[in-house]
Structure 1
Amino acid sequence: MPAYLTIDDAPSGTLPEKLESLAARDVTAVFFCEGRRLDEHAAHAVAAVEAGHLLGNHADTHTHASDLSVEAFREEVARTDALLDDVYERAGVERPARLFRFPYGDRGGERADALQEVLADDGFVGPDAAAFAYDWYDDEHGGYRDWGWTLDVADWEVETPGAMRESVAAESERLASEPNDLLLFHDGGNTVAAFEAYLDALDAHGVALGDPRDLL
C-alpha cells in the first residue's frame, strides 16, 4: 500500500538522527513545525529542508484552535510562518507550498470556517483529497486548507520499539488495503529507536512511502 509520511511536533533535539534514518531508507516526509520548537532547533529544520523534506506550519504554541480567538489563531500561524520562511531562506531552497496542520486535529469548533478563511488568505493549501480513496476523508477534508491524516498508531503512547512494532502490526489489515494513507507520527516526544522501529514495521508490512510533493 502506498502512503505518505507526515510528522508533527517538529523540530526536536533528535531530528538530525531521524533525518539520517529517513535518508538511509530513501524516505521523504512532511514535518509540521511549531514556532516554539523552531526557536530552539531552527538549524535542525534547515537540515531537513536541505535533505529534501517539506516543512509545514503546526502553529506556534500547539494550542487547541477552539481555545483561540480568530485573531490569536492568525498570530500563531503568522509567527510560525515567518520562522519557516527564514528556515527556507537559510537553506537556500524556494518554499514549494504553505502547509498547515491543526494541533490535535482541532479545527476550531464554531470558528472553523473563519479559521479556514485565515488559512486561505495566507495561501495555505491542503493535500489532494482525491489521492485518498476514503469517502469519509473527502467528506471531512475535501476543499479544506489544512492537512489531516488517515492513519494514526498513537505513537505518543508507545514506550518501546517493540511496542511500536506491535502498534503498527495491529493495523496490518488496514496497511495491506488498497487506498493510499496519510500517516501521522510525532517528532517531539519520540526516540530515534522508536522512529526507526516505526519505519521498519511499515516496510515489513509492505508500505511504500511516497513523496508528499505528489499531493500538492
Structure 2
Amino acid sequence: MSVGYLTMDDGPSDITRDIIDYLTGRGIKPVFFFTGQNIEKRMEEGVYAIKKGAIIGNHSYSHPNFEQLTLEQCISEVEKTEELINELYKKAGEVRKFKLFRFPYGARKLNESKEFQEYLKNQRFCKLDDMHITSEWYDREGLIEGVDVLWTYDFTEYRIQNDTSLTYDDLVARIHEKKQGSSDSLLNEGSRHIVLLHDHEETNAVISRYYQKFLDYVMLHGVDFIEPEFRYLS
C-alpha cells in the first residue's frame, strides 16, 4: 500500500460540488488550490467545498507563469486571491486555519525565488507535511525547503481535453509506469505522495466523472488517501 495527500487544482468549477460530494462519500479530505478568477465566478461552489470539509489553498489570481513575472506581480497575484479565499471562509462560517500556495504550472524557479519564499514564510503560509515523502525527484530538487506546495504525482488528465488520441486507458497505463532505479511510482509499496488532479469541467465533458474513475482505480490498487497534515518552515 502507498499513501498520499489529494490535491486538486484550478477550481472552483461547475463540477466542484460533484467532486466534493464524491470525495466526502469516500472519506477523502482534499486540498483544493483555487484561482481568484474562478472564485469570483463560482463563489458558492467554493463555499460549498469548505462546508464539506475541503481545505482551500491559493493558486494565484489569473494562473500566470510566475517565472515570467516580477516579484511585485507575483505578490499581487497571491494577495488578490488571499482576499477572495478569506471571503469564502467568512461566507462558509468557518475559521481558516491554514494558508497554502501552489505555483501555476509548478513554475517555481523565479529570478527572485528566495525573496518570494521569504514573503510566503513571513505571511505565515504553511505546506503539506512532506517530511516523509519518498520521491527521489522531490528530494533531489530540494522541494522540501520551499514553502510552496508542489506534487509528486500528476495524473495529467487535463491533456485529454486537447489530445483526441489520448485515452483514459493511456493515463491508467501511465499510473503503472516505473522508472528504472526509482521509487517514484504512485503504486510503489510503502511510498508516500502528494497527488494532483484538476478540477476541470472540460475534462469531465470528455470522460464523465473522470475524478471518480481515476481515484477509484488507484485506491483499488492500494493507494490510501490520508487526511492532510501541515508544517511551517522556521
Same fold (TM over 0.5): yes
Secondary structure of the residue aligned to 1:73 is helix
- Find out whether 1:179 has 2:191 as its counterpart: yes
Distance (whole Å) between structure 2 residues aligned to residue 25 and residue 156 of structure 1: 23
Distance (whole Å) between structure 2 residues aligned to residue 186 and residue 42 of structure 1: 18
Secondary structure of the residue aligned to 1:6 is strand
Distance (whole Å) between structure 2 residues aligned to residue 106 and residue 97 of structure 1: 22
Residues 166 and 27 (structure 1 numbering): CA distance in 2 closer, same or farther, change over 3 Å?
farther
- Find out whether 1:12 has 2:51 as its counterpart: no
* Equivalent position of 2:218 in the other structure: 202
TM-score by length of 1: 0.92
* Equivalent position of 1:164 in the other structure: 168
Query: As a proportion of its length, which structure holds more helix?
Result: 1
Deviation at residue 128 of structure 1 after TM alignment: 2.1
Secondary structure of the residue aligned to 2:9 is strand
Deviation at residue 196 of structure 1 after TM alignment: 1.4
Could you tell which deviates more after superposition, 177-186 or 116-125?
116-125
Deviation at residue 135 of structure 1 after TM alignment: 4.0
Opposite residue 45 of structure 1, the aligned amino acid is G
TM-score by length of 2: 0.85
Could you tell which deviates more after superposition, 142-151 or 108-117?
108-117
Q: Could you tell me whether the CA contact under 8 Å between 2:153 and 2:186 is conserved in 1?
A: no
Secondary structure of the residue aligned to 2:94 is coil
Deviation at residue 38 of structure 1 after TM alignment: 0.4
Q: Which contiguous aligned blocks of 4+ residues in structure 1 show a shift greater than 6 angstroms?
A: none
Once the two structures are aligned, what percentage of the paired residues are identical? 29
Deviation at residue 108 of structure 1 after TM alignment: 4.1
RMSD of aligned alpha carbons: 1.8
- Find out whether 1:129 has 2:140 as its counterpart: no
Which whole-Å deviations, capped at 9, do the CAs of 1:144-198 have from their partners, x for residues lacking one?
Answer: 11001001121111259x9335413422352331211110111034315211111
Distance (whole Å) between structure 2 residues aligned to residue 215 and residue 132 of structure 1: 13
Alignment size in residue pairs = 214
Q: 1:142 aligns with which of 141, 144, 168?
A: 144
